[in-house]
Amino acid sequence: MGTLKEAVAVVTGASRGLGAAISEELAAGGAKVVVNYSRSKEPAEELVSKIEEAGGEAIAVQGDVSDPEQAQALIDKAIERFNRIDVLVNNAGINIDKTLKKLTVDDWDKVIQVDLNSAFYTVHAVLPHMTEAGGGKIINMSSFVGEAGNIGQANYSAAKGGLLGFTKTAALELARYGITVNAICPGFINTDMVAAIPEEAKEKLLKSVPLRRFGEPEEIARAVRYLVEDGDYITGQSLDINGGVYIRT
């Protein structure tokens, strides 16, 4: 693509945290952003206002992308408003952390549905539009936990690891249509999730990070923008942005 000017980007789970930072970064580059949210209407609308005040263009669209019909409706609304979709960022995610002894079937299903299945639903819905347009960029937000595993996160780890396999297969299948598919694997990032961790536990986590700090949402957002603007020859890859907490061999 080379530029975000006039591009249309759909970001799922975009009302706060990483999704909000990604939406702002893409809008700053000139993209028209579809800010998807499930329940956080007010933060999503505040984000849209912030983007507009900065001279960008955005709309907030409600939709629980863990439901295939709502995921389809999200894509349909984006097409109805902007007539195209150039970028899809699958960022929606939740975590329900428990050890396997305490993890329930419902705990497992909820996380898999939101963190993994939603990516298939949105990609399935956007595919006809990207193929017709002759290309597009799909970016799936995974996690270092999907690569390394983590105690108390069997469901989250399985979902994020599944996203990596999905990314590779989608990249192989969609390259012929000019569509690139990549994943980003963040480490511990300063979001609401990290802010909720007790200080003592947070200090222990920091000691596990070689760079001795948590990442910032803006650092992840800039990586998304890089893949969109400069990643034409990058597909099927996972980009680790984790401060060294997990280093692949």
3-state helix, strand, coil in the chain (%, to 5): 50, 15, 35
CA distance 18 to 219: 9
CA distance 173 to 217: 30
Judge contact between 91 and 12, C-beta under 8 A: yes
CA distance 41 to 219: 25
Judge contact between 239 and 183, C-beta under 8 A: yes
Judge contact between 221 and 51, C-beta under 8 A: no
Q: Tokens 């050890």 map to which residue?
A: 99
Q: Which of 121, 156, 226, 233 is catalytic?
A: 156
Judge contact between 71 and 63, C-beta under 8 A: yes
**Cα of 3 vs its chain's centroid, Å:** 20
- Sheet containing strand 8-11, edge to edge, reads 57-62, 32-37, 8-11, 87-90, 136-141, 179-186, 238-241
The CA–CA distances, whole Å, from 71 to 21, 98, 179, 220, 222 equal 21, 28, 20, 24, 25
Clarify whether 156 is annotated catalytic: yes
Active site positions, annotated:
156
